[in-house]
A and B are shown apart, each in its own frame.
Chain A
Amino acid sequence: MFLRDATTCLLLLAAASFFLAGLVGLLRFPDVFCRLHALTKADNLGLGLVCIALIIQADSWHGAVRLLLTWFLVLVSGATVAHLIARKALQQGQTPWRNR
């Protein structure tokens, strides 16, 4: 019981740090292509950790399945949308930022 709660705590704290990282990325990265990483990597990972933390707490299998399905959908949508937005930005003539 204690172990379960402790794991959940740890996972949630980790998730919080990923979400914060995503926020910093969104605010501080120099252009849209960099910021897309905040969306696709940090936040989706954070959500994944939240889902796992809640699955540990879940007492029925269909709750767990719903959580996994939610994460999966967000993951797929996030990846696709990042690709689409990047493509659109390139089409509109934005050039990716380079650190010179």
Chain B
Amino acid sequence: MTGLYLGLSLLLLATIVLGLVRILRGPTAADRMLAAQLFGTTTVAILLLLGQATSNQALWDVALVFALLTAIAAIAFVRRDLEPEQNKKEDGDVSA
């Protein structure tokens, strides 16, 4: 069973890594925020599975805390004010 839990965690982790593409690509801020939100859910699932695999109950507490806090970043996102998307100019990469 432990193998199955870990395997599924690995799979979920892989979906997070692939989902990063959405944050990188965007195109809108809402898309990025949404992807981050999705990662929160997936992370909760991974934590639950890892907790079961290692029979470490403390990880379920971590999952509970994540579940409580997944909303907070998104709420901060919608509550901040922002100029409309169109005005947000892409500054040239200034690292050069």
Partners in one complex: yes
Chain A residues touching B, majority SS = helix
Interface size on B, residues (CB 8 A): 43
Q: Given that A74-B44, A81-B71 are known contacts, is A94 also in contact with B37, CB under 8 Å in the complex?
A: no
- Do A22 and B78 touch across chains, with their CB atoms under 8 A apart? no
- Do B12 and A94 touch across chains, with their CB atoms under 8 A apart? no
Contacts of B35 in A (CB 8 A): 26
**Residue in A closest to B47 when the chains form the complex, CB atoms:** A70
Chain B residues touching A, majority SS = helix
**Residue in B closest to A78 when the chains form the complex, CB atoms:** B41
How far does the alpha carbon of A32 sit from the alpha carbon of B19 in the complex, in Å? Answer: 14
The contact size tier of chain A is: 35 or more
Contacts of B42 in A (CB 8 A): 19, 43
Q: Given that A39-B41, A47-B41 are known contacts, is A74 also in contact with B70, CB under 8 Å in the complex?
A: yes
Contacts of A19 in B (CB 8 A): 11-12, 15, 42, 45
A interface residues with partner B (beta carbon < 8 Å): 5, 8-9, 12, 15-16, 19-20, 22-23, 26-27, 32, 35-36, 38-39, 43-44, 46-47, 50-51, 54, 57, 63, 66-67, 69-71, 73-74, 77-78, 80-82, 84-85, 87-89, 92-94
